[in-house]
Amino acid sequence: MNVTIVDYNSGNISSVINSFREVAKDKVNLAVTSDLNKIKSSDKLVLPGQGSFKSCIDALTKIDGLTDALNEFVMINKKTLLGICVGLQMFADMGYEETETKGLGWISGKVSKIDNQNGKYKLPHIGWNQINIVKDSKIFRNIENNSHMYFVHSYEFIPEDKNMILATTDYSSNIVCSVEKENIFGTQFHPEKSDKAGLKIIDNFINL
């Protein structure tokens, strides 16, 4: 099986690469590339994202044909994809970080700034937080509810259809921290930085 981490110059993705290598070992062929042919021929994709919604969308669209290749992979061929952090946020129709920016539109919704309640909550939200698993999913197989995951973000994805929500975390409000729609999975937290529980999520994704 071929698993590809999409490298579109969206910041440092070395920890994503290292954790997938650690989990994948000899089970899968792991590639890190923006090569359209390799992406199209993969069985599964990982879409990381660091920085702002706008900077990640801009970086994706700078690589000629990449957005089309991702759309074909996910929407037409219905192959499995995992979005991490801004990688998940880009599933939305629209993001409001820096300026109004069109997302990939895979899961209807928007990305808005977390309400820090007049400074009561620090932004960005950085560090370990418990997740509340609200729906069964293969991606959370053998993950205990209220497990701690590692977060770094100031914006949250608000999907229109609440049935897409797999897990939330309590920070100022119930923030969506994982979604699933058919073949598309996403985590707002960083599984690659979330110790054994995070590695288990990566393992679950590889074994889907």
Instruction: Give dist(CA 167, CA 129) in Å, integer.
Output: 12
Taking alpha carbons only, the member of 148, 122, 121, 123 closest to residue 133 is 148
Cα torsion 73, 76, 78, 81 to 10°: value is 30
Tokens 């932004």, residue located: 123
HEC profile of 74-96: HHHCCCEEEEECHHHHCCCCEEC
**Domains: count for the chain:** 1
pTM of the complete model beyond 0.95: yes
Count of C-beta atoms within a 10 Å radius of residue 142: 9
Please say if 125 is a catalytic residue: no
Active-site residue, selected from the candidate residues 97, 156, 180, 192: 192
Active-site residue, selected from the candidate residues 22, 56, 85, 97: 85
Average pLDDT for runs of 10 along the chain of length 208: 95 93 92 97 97 96 98 98 98 96 98 95 96 98 98 98 98 96 98 98 97
Please say if 98 is a catalytic residue: no
Instruction: Give dist(CA 46, CA 141) in Å, integer.
Output: 19
Whole domain around residue 51: which residue ranges? 2-206
CATH code assigned at 34: 3.40.50.880
Active-site residue, selected from the candidate residues 97, 156, 180, 190: 190
Cis amide prior to 124 (ω within 30 degrees): yes
pLDDT given for residue 26 in this prediction: 83
pLDDT given for residue 10 in this prediction: 84
Please say if 156 is a catalytic residue: no
